[in-house]
Amino acid sequence: MTDLVILNGVKWLLGSRQFPFSEYVVEYGNENNNEHDILAMENGLKLHGEAFNVAPSFFQGKKKSALKKLRESQTQADFIIILVNSDAVKDNYTPKVKENESLVFVDIISGNGRILPDKSTQSTSGNINGN
């Protein structure tokens, strides 16, 4: 299910243009070739990301572990993201993250995404086709 979070999440990121990247490098399954699940680099900017599918009861622990890995990365990134299944938290969830960190909640059925904290002035809901 994590692969579906990655696939739909990156597709949504590309369609919504939440970050200034035209392509992302992703690592599916149990591969361990890259430092992180999601990488992007363009115009001197870097993004590192981790992804997971998790039950609500395990969300906080997985989030803490992913943030620790991202924050302790050997290379610094301008943007740090975590892609996670949207049903891992309630709709009113508000994360406590640093300025350059975001959580992207992905509905793996519809392809809808939601980024928190919302740093844009435009709505971030809608499907990967911009609807």
89-113 pLDDT, tens digit per residue, is 998 998 888 999 999 999 999 999 9
Q: Categorize the per-residue pLDDT at 51 as very low, low, confident or very high, splitting at 50, 70 and 90.
A: very high
The dihedral built from the CA positions of residue 59, 56, 131 and 4, taken in this order, carries a sign that is positive
Nearest-angstrom CA–CA distance, 14 and 67: 22
Domain ranges of the chain: 2-116
121-131 pLDDT, tens digit per residue, is 333 344 443 43
Task: Provide the pLDDT for residue 35.
Answer: 84
- pTM for the full model? 0.84
Task: Provide the pLDDT for residue 108.
Answer: 92
Q: Residues 68, 95, 130, CA angle at the centre, nearest 5°?
A: 105
